[in-house]
Structures are given as C-alpha cells and as structure tokens.
Structure 1
Amino acid sequence: MSIHILGIRHHGPGSARHVKDYLEKVKPDIVLVEGPPEADNILEWVGDEQLRPPVAILAYQPDAPQKAVFYPFAEFSPEWQAILYARTHGIPVRFMDLPIAHQFDLKAEKEQKTTADEAPALNNSLAPHIPDARIIRRNPVAYLAGAAGFADEEKWWEHMFEYRQDPQEVFIAVAEGMQALRQDLQLPYDREEQLREAHMRKTIRQAEREMYTEIAVICGAWHTPALLNMGKAKDDNDLLKGLPKVKVATTWIPWTYNRLSYNSGYGAGINSPGWYEHNWRYPFDDGTRWMSRVARLFREQQKDISVAHVMEAVRLSSALSALRGLSKAGLEELNEATLSVLCNGEEILLQLINDALIVSNTIGEVPSDIPRPPLQTDIEKLQKKLRLPQTADYKDYVLDLRKDTDLERSILLHRLEMLDIQWGHRYGPSGKGTFKEQWRLQWNPDFSIDIIEKGSWGNTVEEATSQYVQHQARTATSLKEVCTLLEAAIPAELHTAVEVLVQQVNNLAAATGDVMQLMTVIPGLVQIGRYGNVRKTDATLVENIISGMITRICVSLPAACIGIADDAAAELLELVYNMNDAILLLQDIDMTTQWQQTLSAIAGNNSAAPVIGGYATRLLADHRQLSGSELVRAFSYAMSSATPPAIAAAWLEGFLKGSGTLLLVDNDLWTVVSNWMHQLEEEAFKQLLPLLRRTFSGFTKAERRKLGEKAKGGSAGTTGTLQQTMENIDAERAMKGVPIVLQMLGVK
C-alpha cells in the first residue's frame, strides 16, 4: 500500500502538469483532493463537454445564502487535472478537506491574531528580501522566496518548481521545503487549520480501510508535512468530535479569470491567470508565441508592429533571463522587453496587455442541466431567449423600447436591478426621446449568491421581484423611498407591486404635513407618467395621487416660504425649480392654474424669502402672468432704494436663476438693475459683490459676454439715455400720424 502526497501550488500550471504526469506514472486506484466533501456528489460533471473552466464550486447554507464560499478551478489548476484524471480513468475521487458544514460556524468563532508579536522574530539583515513576520504568518512560502533573493514568492515558485520537468523530484523538494519551514519558523496555527489537517488524515485512513493500495493525495504544499506524519487516529478523532454543523448545498457556477486574480480579493489567487493559461498550453514556449499574441493585440489597436519587433523583444527577454540566472524568460522579463521594444517606453500600453492577456476576461461555462436554484434557472433561460450572454468583460447595449425584444430586455434588466443584482448599469443614451435606454453589462460570479438569497421570494424573476418589492413597500416608512420604488417598478412592469406601492404612497402622503417632502417626490411621480406611452403600462394609477399632492403643495407652499434661513431657502428654491418643471411636463390646465396662483401669492408676500419671491416673479413672467409695465413695476419695487441691498440682491438672484436672457431683451428691466447698481454705496457694493458674481456665474458663457457688451456700450440705455431719446422726438411730425392711428382704431 502506497500513499503519494503531492504538494501543489493552487492554480499553478507547472504543478498541474506535474500532477498529471505523476498520476499517469503511478496509476492510483483512488484520488483524494483538498476541497469540500459536500461537493463529492457534483464531481460527476467533471469531464462533461459543457463544463468548461474556469468554473467554481459554490457551497452555501440554504437557510442563510449569504453564508457561502467558492472553490474556483481553472484548466491549469492541479486539483482540476487530478479530478479530471480520476473521472477519465474511472477511479474514485473524493474531497478531503474539513466539511463546510463545520467551517461556517468555525469562521465566526475564529480568533483574530494578526499582530507581529505573535509571529517569530526574524533577522532580515542578511537577506533583505525576507518579508516581515506579519507577512510570513499569512504566507510562509514568502520566507523561502526571500531567502533565495526573490521579492515575489510567485516568481520564485515558478522558477523553482513550475518550470522543472521531473515531477517526482519536484514533489520531494516541496515536501522537504515545507517540512523545514514548519520546523524552523514555529508559526502559531489556529484551530481551524488543525481541524482541516486532522480531517485530511482521517479521509486518508478511511481510504486505507477500504483497501485502496495506491492512494494519491493532492493538497496545498503547506499541508504536505502534516499528511506525511499521520500521527494517531485517536488524537484526530478527539479533535474533530463535537463540531457545530449546518446544512450545506453545492453547485457549479461559471467563474472568470479576473475573479481568479489577487486583485479580486481571492486569498489563493494568482497575479496572471491569462499568462498561466498560456504556460499550461505552451509549456516550451520561449516567448515567441506570447510576443506574437502581444503583437496581434497591438495591431488590433491600430499600432504598427512588425515581425522584427517581435523577434527583437524575444531576444531581449532571453538575454534578461540569462543575466538573472533564470532557466527561461518569465512574465517579468517578457514585460520589460515589451515595454522597451513594442511600447517605446510607454507604460500605459502595458495596462492593455495586462487586461487583455495577462489577466484576461475569460469566463467559464456550466451545463444547463446541472442542479441549481429555480430562480437562477429562470434567469439563464431569459438570458438565452433575449440573447444577453454572461460575459466577463463589459458589453454595451442600446435598447429601443419600441421593439419587442429590446423592451423585454429592458424589463429583465430593471427587474434584476430591483433585486439588487447589479448585472447592468444604466447610462444616458445619446439623442432625444424616452424610447431608448443604454445599458452596460458585466457578469460577476458573486451574483450567484445574490440569486440564491433572492430565490426565497420566488422561483421566477417576475415573481421574486414582485414579492420582494411588495415587502419593501410594506416596511418602508419614507415617502421618498416608496416613490423611488414606484418609479423603478413601472419600467419593470410589476403590476401587482405597483398597486401596492400606489396605495402606500397615498397613505404616506396623507399622513405627512411636510411640504418639502411632498415636493421632493412629485418630479419622480410625474416622470412615471412618461412611461405609459412607451411601455404600454397604465400610468394613470398615480394621476389621482399627483393631483391631490399638488393641491396640498399649492395650499401649504406660500406659508412654508416665510421666515426661513438662507440655507433652507436655497434648498426650497431647488424644489420650486423642479416642481415648476413637473407642472410644465403635466400640461394640465387646472394644475397649472393652481400653481400660478401659488406663485402669485409668494411673489406678492413681502415676508417670503427674497430669493424665492424673486424666482416666483420670474416664473410668473415665464407663464405670461406678468409682462410689460406690470413686470417692470414689480421689479422696480423689489430693487428700490428703500429695500435693503442684501434683500434686493437675493431677490435678483432668484429672479435671474438659470438665465439672464430677460435682461438682454427687456431694456426697461436692464435700466432698473443698472440704476440700482449705480445708487449702491461703495461698502454695500463690496458686500454684495460675491452674491452678484454667484448670480451671474450661473449664466451661459454667451449670455455673460452679451451682458458685458451691453454694460460696456450702454446700448440698453440708462435713464439719461432714455430722456435724451425723448427730447429728440419731433412732436409736430408725430402729431400728423395721430389721426391715422385713431382712424385705424375706429375712434372718431
């Protein structure tokens, strides 16, 4: 009976090759792999043509889906190759790690001991690349890399183990190296790690009792010494006795190379999954194939790259590896050669290589008949029907809602958005109209957890979204929150949920006396009406609510504008601005009349905040309720010398909000403003200057230029200019036209 302990680097292409070659040589009758035993029942899918890595085992707690863990595999993962070997040769394969059923509760109890004082003191003076104790506590292999003069343990592992050819020697060296580390460093081990290694030994003993004679064990290199020294079975059984246990479910999900990288936060991740895949497929490449891929990528970006560039870059990478005493050029040497020869020293181009080749955007596939939650099945069915594939890179869609397929796509994306599954992000489409939406989609494997969690609300996207939104509606206490949900539920076409939301809006609106809160939600409710034409939904559900809320706003707003501080006035001014836009959008005569009467009440009240009073006067002018001499009279009264300068300036700021066109086209108003400015004393002018500059800074550049030209040239005419013009009139000649005018007017 032989037990073969193969210590590997997770996701190492060289380790995967060594494992495959070693298994072919010893021909084991059972394979044990570090992984969750709960997933043994889904290993039968490995080898299926439709299960294409990168993929991951998702283990989760059904009654608490947020408690989940992923076990990713790439084609170049040693564990994957070991499982594939067993499946291909028809021999048993099992996972041997501590069951996830125990680990979920253990992780919650795990003691956080991360200070450097708990790790051994190290002398780094002789080997400057040796990391500090805190890093070694987390990644002991970094100690060996530092001792060998490597700042990057991944690079050290590649050149020491990945590129070697004899698998037996490699695994012996790994075991000896890890044994020396565990003996010399004397690092403290937490309880979870002790339990994991005890369960691995227990699984090996179980295989021995079942009379397997050639047992192949594939585990992380660090665990190798613990499995070579089996110890006493009683000690392990005592250690594993009485562990907490929960129910766990497992399934296969697609994974991405981006999520396999360190940058994703994956603890056993690698820096360059795309580069590792290249090494797996072309182990004897001297850099020529890699440089050819880089050149092809650059040519796709319209950058001129010749064959001579590629040859020179390969030569340079080989020279660099020779100077550094390496057996072959690694990624670092190839990148340096690329930077010098192909990028002309422009480091920004290396980011393109990193995204497209070094990390890559590869995503795996899983068979459609693999057991999975009903909600996930429905999502995948809709994705296939609507031709919206899961992709690891960004993909943009511009949806025309007048087309049935695009409308269905939009509905699906809106529903997933309401389920907090952020597959798509909306952007403002180019052009005008409400019939277009622009989405950017990128699939994240973590969505699987969100899908499982939301699956408790229903088995289909429509059912789950509707139930989830109704739950949010019933538990919400803020009118704004409910209106936001309603605005999102309309394009998602959740009719039952919309009815519940409308009822909740009505209840909350009737209970609130805060006019500012009502004004905050009105624009969103009015926007809902715009979807009725495009989405064929009944937007009239909210019309009665809008009408009642606007009436209450019109009654309460004039009193709300009295006796408020400047900050509150500025906030209320923006609400009035948005409210006016909503009224114009409705195009309802009765509501417009109510709004105009409210504006008149505000503009005619001297106690109202001046900035709001000025803006109300401006809106009355825009609504054609004030014009000509009446408008000039209201303007002159507000800007008279009897009005304190600060109040007049605030009134002017409100009146000119957003546009100074009135001052350009109405010379009488210009004259009033000009006279007011001239009569200000120097100190008062200095105090008001910042406020005036803020007012005029809101105008467009063209408006500011024309106003400046008008002020400089005096073309609008001051009071003196107007009087001079009156004096130059020929009265005798003017009188000759009076009879004709009277005749035209029908006056005898």
Structure 2
Amino acid sequence: MSVHILGIRHHGPGSARNVKNFLEELQPDIVLVEGPPEADAILPWASHEALKPPVAILVYQPDDPQHSCFYPFAEYSPEWQAIGYAQRQHIPVRFMDLPLAHVFAIEKEKRAAAEAARRQQEVTGEQPDSSAAVDEITPLQEASLNVDDTEDIPAQPLTPATFRHDPIAYLAHAAGHDDGERWWEHMFEYRQQDDQVFDAVSDAMQALREELPSRDSRMEQQREAWMRKMIRQAEKEMFTRIAVICGAWHAPALKNMPAQKVDNDLLKGLPKVKIDCTWIPWTYSRLSYESGYGAGVPSPGWYQHIWEHPSDDGTRWMALVAKLFRDQQKDTSVAHVLEAVRLANALTSLRQYSRPGLEELNEATLSVLCNGEDVLMQLIRDELIVSNRIGQVPSDIPKPPLQADIERLQKRLRLPQTADFKDYVLDLRKDTDLERSILLHRLQLLGIRWGERMETSGKGTFKEQWRLQWDPSFSVDIIEKGSWGNTVLEAVTQYILDVSGKTATLREVCQMLESALPAELPKVVDALILRINNLAAAAGDVLQLLEVVPSLVNITRYGNVRKTDADLVMNIVESMISRVCISLPAACTAVSEDAALELLEQFQAMNDAINLLQHTDLTSAWTGTLTAISGNSQSAPVLAGYASRLLFDFKILDNDALFNRFSIAMSVANAPAVTAAWLEGFLKGSGTLLLLDEILWNMVCSWVSQLENDIFMQILPLLRRTFSNFTAPERKKLGEKVRTGSDGSPATITLATGVDDSRAALGIPVVMKMLGFFHPENQAE
C-alpha cells in the first residue's frame, strides 16, 4: 500500500503536465483531489463531451444562495487532468477537502458572533479590541483555498509579511530572484522534464513550514485534518496505490501524519448546513487574480498557450500577436515576428532561463512590433494574455429551474452567453427584438444585469441598444431569485410585488413602474399603479410629486410601440399635475438659495414633461401656475425669473410685457444678488435661445451696459455662474456676437469728444516707453 502526495500549483500548466505524466506511470487505483466532497455527485459530468473548460463548480446554501463559492477549472488545472485520468481509467476519484457544509456553518457562527460583539459595543460604548482581531477567511476566500495558497498575492516588495502570506517569495529570494511568480514559472511551469519534481516541491514546502512563522489558522488545520481523514479512509478500503493531488503548501502536512486522535479532536463537533452544487461556465477573465479570485493566475490565456504548445520558443506566440495586429489593420510583417522572437530568446539567454517566458516575449513585442508604444500591449493583454474564453456545460446538467428557463430563452432568442461584450440594436417593431428587450428588462428588474442599456441615435421609441456581457457570478443571483419562481415571468412578478409592497417612497415605486412597463408585466403594472395612487394621495409634500411627475410622463411613451395601455398612467399624471399646479406657487416662497436652485432643476424637468404631453388643459394649468409664481414678489428670484422666461416661451407674455417685467427685475433699486438670481433663472438653459432671440439679447445687453462699475463687480461672480451652465460652443458664439454686434458687422468704438489733441500727444512717448517702445522723436536721446 502506497500513498503518493503530488503538491501542485492550481491552474499551472507545468504542474498539470507533471500530474498527468505521473499518473500514467503510477497507474493508481484511486485519486483524491483537493476540493469539496459535496461535489462528488456531479463529478461524472466532467467526462461529458459538452462540458468544456473553463468551468467551475458552484457550491451554495439553498436557503442563502449568496453564501456561495466557486471552484474553477481550466484545461491546464492539475485537478482537471487528475479527474480526467481517473474517469478514462474507470477508477474512483473523490474530493477530499473539508466539506463546505462545515465551512459555511463555521463562517455563519463567526458572523453571528461578530454581530453580537458589535451590538454589545454599541450598548456599552467600548472600542473594539484590535489586539483580539483574527485574520479569518471569508467564504469566497475559503473557496479559493482549493488552490495553492502560495500564489494568493502578486509579486511585491519582499518583506517578512510578504513571506508569511507568499512563501514562494521566500524561495525566490533565496535563489536570487525578486519575483516569486516568475521564479515559480521558470522552475516548474515551463519545465519539460518531471524528474522527481514532486519530491522537490514537498521538500521545499517542508522547509518553508519549518522556517517561516505559522500561517495556518484553525480553519487550515481542520482542512488538512480532513484531508488526512480521507487518505486514511482510502487505506481502510484497501486501495493500494493512492494518488493525492493537493496544493503544494499542504503536501508536507499530508505526508507526515499525526496520530488519528489529533485529527479527530480537531474535527469534533463541527457545525453543518445544507449544501447544493452544480457546474457552471467560467471565463479566463474571472480566472485571473485581477478579478479578485484569491488563487487566480496573472495570464490564463498565456498558460493555455504553453499547455497546448509546451515546446514553443516564442514563434507561435508571436504569430498570434501578428495575427491580432493584422485584424486591427496594423501592418505586421514576417520580419517583425522573426526579429521579436530573436530578441525574446536573447533576453532569455542573458537572464539564464531555459526558455522565453511571458515577460521576455512582452518586452520583445513592445520593442519590435509596438515600436515602444504601450497602447497596443493592452490589446495583447485583453485578447491573448488573459483571453475572453468562456466554457460550456451540458444543457441537461442538473440546474435550478429559473436558470434552465433563462438558458432556454437565451437559446430561443439567439442571445448567447459571451465572456466579451457584444452590442445589439433592437427594433421593437420586430417580434424577436421585442421579446429580447422584454427578457433583458425582466432580468434587470431581478437584479441580473447581463445587459446594459446604451444611448441610441435618432428619434423615436422603437429602438433600443444593449451591451451584453456574461459574468459567471450571475449564477448566484439566478439561484437567489429562483426562490420567487421557476420561470423568469413568475420570479420577476413575485419579486417586484414583494419589493414594492415594502417600499414607502413614491419615487422608488415610480422607478419600478418605469422599468416594469417595458418588461410587459401587466399584473405588476396594475399593482404598482395602485401603490402609486395610494402613496400620492397620502403625500403632503408637493416637491415629492414634482420629483416623480417627469418619470411618469416618460412612461406614457411606451403606449404606442409596446402595445401597452398607458391610460391608467395618464390618469395618475393628470391628478398629480393638478395638485402640483395648485400647491407649487406657495412652495416657491421663503426658500433658501440652495433649495431654490435644486427646485429649479425639478422645475425644468416638469416643464419638459408638460411640453412632451401636449395636453391642452394641463398646459393651461401649468401656465397659470407660472403666472402666479412670476408675479409674486415673495417668490424666490431665480424661480420667478425662470417662470417669466417660460411664460414668454408659451407666448403668454408678449414683447412689451416681457420688457417691462425684465426692467422691473433688473432695476438698480433691487439688491445686486437678487437681480443676478432673477437673471440666472431667466436665462436657464437658454444659451441657444439667447443667440437666436434678438429681443432677449437686446434686453440683456442693454441692462449690462447700464450697470455701474461697482454694481457690475458685485454681480460678476453670479453672472459667471449663470453663463457657465451654457455649453462651450454656446459661450463661444455669445462671445463672437458681442464682438461683432447683433447684425454680424464689426463692433464700432465710439471715441470721447472734446479731447485736447495737443495735450494728449504729450503722453504718447511715456506710454510707448512703458510698453517697451521708443517714439521716433526721442531716439536721439
């Protein structure tokens, strides 16, 4: 009976190749792999022809789906190769890590204890004891512990703290390297011969565990105790050649087993929760440690390349770079490729490496193919080094009903899951595009933001643009929302009805209604309209109604294209606008400057909504409200000025009436700050209007030209704030109009009369000297 401990780096192509070769030579009768034992039941799916890595095992609590974690696998993951070997040879393969049923339960107890401590501190007023803080492991980090802990942190300056968290950096430093990541790659991942490599890794890890301060939490000790328990279990079952695939750090702990009683004591009384798991597609971008995945690798796409082409001297890689550049319409010749390969190999020799690594190839690419420009290196990183590859899982794999319904709809509507973003322009007059839009809006309501709405060019409401990009973490959201229903329609209906019933804010319910209409949820729409009616009836604040009216008016746009009956919404809109028109004049008096400016923005949105409706009675009521605000001396000046301008736009005020009102507001008898505020409201959003309307232009110009110097200096900052709200092109045009005059002719300068020319001439030499010039008459001096 023999036990062979293979310490590996997870997602390492060299480790995967060594494991594959070792197993083929050893021919074990059982394989134990570091991973969650709960997933043993779904391991047979790994041999399914439709399951293609990168994939991941999703483990979650059915009663708390957000408490979940992922176990990703790439084709070059050593665990994946071990699982594949066992299934091809028809021998048992098992996961041997501490069950997540215990891990999740332990974490749940820790969170409950931390929350209780926090509440106790709030009651007693005590400060938290920082000395008692423990560096515990979160559930997602715990999931990453199925991979090698020695690679959790990218290369960084070597300090004792670095060595504690990244022991590989210690070995690299001892070997004269300052980058543990690169050292490990050249020593193990690029290695062609597997001569006793696992013994060397085990010895190195043993030395590290003895040399460095302990970095093992109690959770780590329990994990290793469970792994040893699984090895003992295999021995009891009379397996004679046991192959164990684990993270390199754990190898010495599994080789040098303590007494069984020690492990039993560590595992005694562990709490437990219910766990479920399934296979999901994964992406290389999520496999990268930049995604936050604790055991990620910096270059998943590069690792895939060296897994497929272990003997490549850089030629194949540079050919891929050249192809990528040519696809981007950048000329790249064969000579460029050959020169880049030569340079990469020269750098390899200078650095005394056995083969070019990614760093050497990147430096050669930057120098030869990119001409020293970093911009194209980001393209290489996204497309080749990280890559946008996404895996596949069989359609008949066990999965939650809601996820199955979403995948069915994606397939029927031809909306595939892609790791890279893809843009769709939907014409809502077409049945398929309309169904796509409905699905995307429903998923957004469920909080599954697979699609992001983009701005579309042109007019009309029949067109939508979406950008879709699939994230594997959506699987957790889907499982969580699956408690509301087995189909998208059922789940989104029940979910929004529940959320809206608990929401007491009129604005939030209106936003839900705005989202529910394009999602075509009649039951939800009826319930939300009833909820809005009830909240609006109870709302005593006119400003709250003013805030939601524009969004409700916007909702009515969907009545035509989406065949949605918007009459119920219009009834609410008419009622709210009537209440706003009655109560708004009083709300515009006795308000602070900041409150008035905030109300001004709502004022503008309300006016746009009225113009959009084109409803005669509502427009009449609104202009009556504007008249009351404009004519009330107690109204906030900025609001009174804006109301006056809108009355002119609605043709309620003619030229003479507007001029009179403007003259009264701009009178020198008023305080400069009041005058400037009125003018700010008067010019609100009208940069172009000021350019085109000569009446407004002449009134403003005449007022400015009559200001005394000290008054002008007082109001100048306020005027600057007013004109700063105009766009840059509008300000430029206004400046040109001032310079050239209203009719486009150059402005004339009127000289003062009654000047004594002879006396004025005497001052010219002095002025010329001040400017650095000399008058001809004084050159002789």
Q: TM-score, normalised by structure 2?
A: 0.87
Q: Deviations over 1:206-237 (max 9, x none)?
A: 11111111111111111111111122112211
Q: Deviations over 1:555-600 (max 9, x none)?
A: 0001111111111111111111111110111111111111111111
**Residue 620 (structure 1) aligns with:** 647
**Residue 87 (structure 1) aligns with:** 87
**Residue 382 (structure 2) aligns with:** 355
- Distance in structure 1 (CA, Å) of the matches to 2:314 and 2:730: 62
2:33–2:96 Cα contact (<8 Å) kept = yes
Residue 381 (1) aligns with residue 419 (2): no
SS at match of 1:579: helix
**Residue 443 (structure 2) aligns with:** 416
SS at match of 1:167: coil
- Distance in structure 2 (CA, Å) of the matches to 1:665 and 1:275: 60
SS at match of 2:399: coil
**Residue 746 (structure 1) aligns with:** none
- Distance in structure 2 (CA, Å) of the matches to 1:30 and 1:520: 67
**Residue 182 (structure 1) aligns with:** 209
Deviates more, 1:41-50 or 1:631-640: 631-640
Q: Deviations over 1:111-148 (max 9, x none)?
A: 85459xxxxxxxxxxxx998212222222122111211
Q: Deviations over 1:652-680 (max 9, x none)?
A: 22122222566566666555544433443
Residue 478 (1) aligns with residue 505 (2): yes
- Structural mapping, 1:164-179, within 5 Å: 164-179=191-206
- Distance verdict in 2 for CA 1:605–1:89, change over 3 Å: same
Aligned partner letter, 1:333 = E
Q: Deviations over 1:330-362 (max 9, x none)?
A: 111111111111111112211111111111000
1:641–1:679 Cα contact (<8 Å) kept = no
Deviates more, 1:658-667 or 1:275-284: 658-667
Residue 587 (1) aligns with residue 597 (2): no
- Distance verdict in 2 for CA 1:299–1:141, change over 3 Å: same
- Distance verdict in 2 for CA 1:358–1:662, change over 3 Å: closer
Could you tell me which of 152, 170, 177 is aligned with 1:143?
Answer: 170
**Residue 462 (structure 1) aligns with:** 489
Deviates more, 1:370-379 or 1:686-695: 686-695
Residue 254 (1) aligns with residue 281 (2): yes
- Distance in structure 1 (CA, Å) of the matches to 2:348 and 2:634: 82
Residue 156 (1) aligns with residue 183 (2): yes
**Residue 17 (structure 2) aligns with:** 17
Residue 67 (1) aligns with residue 94 (2): no
Percent identity, please: 66
2:57–2:279 Cα contact (<8 Å) kept = yes
**Ranges in structure 2 where 5+ consecutive residues have no aligned partner:** 112-131, 137-154, 749-781
2:493–2:523 Cα contact (<8 Å) kept = yes
- Distance verdict in 2 for CA 1:632–1:149, change over 3 Å: same
Could you tell me which of 524, 536, 552 is aligned with 1:509?
Answer: 536
- Distance in structure 2 (CA, Å) of the matches to 1:71 and 1:671: 72
2:685–2:726 Cα contact (<8 Å) kept = yes
- Distance verdict in 2 for CA 1:469–1:431, change over 3 Å: same
- Distance in structure 2 (CA, Å) of the matches to 1:609 and 1:47: 74
Q: Deviations over 1:609-666 (max 9, x none)?
A: 1111111111111111111322322223322343333322222221222225665666
- Distance verdict in 2 for CA 1:665–1:211, change over 3 Å: closer
**Residue 8 (structure 2) aligns with:** 8
- Distance verdict in 2 for CA 1:175–1:626, change over 3 Å: same
Aligned partner letter, 2:259 = K
- Distance in structure 1 (CA, Å) of the matches to 2:193 and 2:506: 70
How far does residue 151 in structure 1 lie from its aligned partner after superposition?
2.3
Q: Deviations over 1:141-162 (max 9, x none)?
A: 2211121122222221122122
SS at match of 1:353: helix
Q: Deviations over 1:181-217 (max 9, x none)?
A: 1122242421111111111111011111111111111
- Distance verdict in 2 for CA 1:312–1:581, change over 3 Å: same
- Distance in structure 1 (CA, Å) of the matches to 2:386 and 2:606: 50
**Residue 27 (structure 2) aligns with:** 27
Aligned partner letter, 1:269 = G
**Residue 727 (structure 1) aligns with:** none
Residue 242 (1) aligns with residue 273 (2): no
2:165–2:215 Cα contact (<8 Å) kept = no
- Distance in structure 1 (CA, Å) of the matches to 2:282 and 2:575: 52
Q: Deviations over 1:275-324 (max 9, x none)?
A: 11111111111111111111111111111111111111111111111111
- Distance verdict in 2 for CA 1:669–1:18, change over 3 Å: closer
1:670–1:716 Cα contact (<8 Å) kept = no
- Structural mapping, 1:601-680, within 5 Å: 601-659=628-686, 672-680=699-707
SS at match of 2:329: coil
Residue 332 (1) aligns with residue 359 (2): yes
Q: Deviations over 1:250-295 (max 9, x none)?
A: 1000000011111011111111111111111111111111111111
- Distance verdict in 2 for CA 1:183–1:578, change over 3 Å: same
2:577–2:618 Cα contact (<8 Å) kept = yes
- Distance verdict in 2 for CA 1:88–1:586, change over 3 Å: same
**Residue 723 (structure 2) aligns with:** 696
SS at match of 2:667: coil
**Residue 296 (structure 2) aligns with:** 269
How far does residue 42 in structure 1 lie from its aligned partner after superposition?
0.4
- Distance verdict in 2 for CA 1:668–1:104, change over 3 Å: closer
**Residue 760 (structure 2) aligns with:** none
Aligned partner letter, 1:288 = T
**Residue 745 (structure 1) aligns with:** none
1:61–1:249 Cα contact (<8 Å) kept = yes
- Distance verdict in 2 for CA 1:619–1:154, change over 3 Å: same
Aligned partner letter, 1:101 = A
- Distance in structure 1 (CA, Å) of the matches to 2:462 and 2:675: 45
- Structural mapping, 1:213-252, within 5 Å: 213-252=240-279
- Distance in structure 1 (CA, Å) of the matches to 2:728 and 2:188: 66
Residue 529 (1) aligns with residue 556 (2): yes
- Distance verdict in 2 for CA 1:668–1:407, change over 3 Å: closer
Q: Deviations over 1:491-536 (max 9, x none)?
A: 1111111111111111111111111111110010001000111111
- Distance in structure 2 (CA, Å) of the matches to 1:570 and 1:697: 15
Aligned partner letter, 1:297 = L
- Distance verdict in 2 for CA 1:130–1:575, change over 3 Å: closer
How far does residue 105 in structure 1 lie from its aligned partner after superposition?
2.8
Could you tell me which of 337, 360, 363 is aligned with 1:310?
Answer: 337
SS at match of 1:537: coil
- Distance in structure 2 (CA, Å) of the matches to 1:709 and 1:327: 69
1:201–1:230 Cα contact (<8 Å) kept = yes
How far does residue 466 in structure 1 lie from its aligned partner after superposition?
1.0
- Structural mapping, 1:69-148, within 5 Å: 69-108=69-108, 109=110, 113=134, 131-148=158-175
**Residue 119 (structure 2) aligns with:** none
Deviates more, 1:143-152 or 1:524-533: 143-152
Aligned partner letter, 2:20 = K
1:19–1:167 Cα contact (<8 Å) kept = no
- Distance verdict in 2 for CA 1:112–1:215, change over 3 Å: farther
1:130–1:146 Cα contact (<8 Å) kept = no
CA RMSD of aligned residues (A): 2.1
Q: Deviations over 1:657-709 (max 9, x none)?
A: 22256656666655554443344332111101122233334445666566556
Residue 686 (1) aligns with residue 713 (2): yes
**Residue 57 (structure 1) aligns with:** 57
Could you tell me which of 563, 566, 582 is aligned with 1:539?
Answer: 566
Residue 284 (1) aligns with residue 311 (2): yes
- Distance verdict in 2 for CA 1:252–1:699, change over 3 Å: closer
1:667–1:716 Cα contact (<8 Å) kept = no
Aligned partner letter, 1:363 = I
How far does residue 716 in structure 1 lie from its aligned partner after superposition?
8.2
Q: TM-score, normalised by structure 1?
A: 0.91
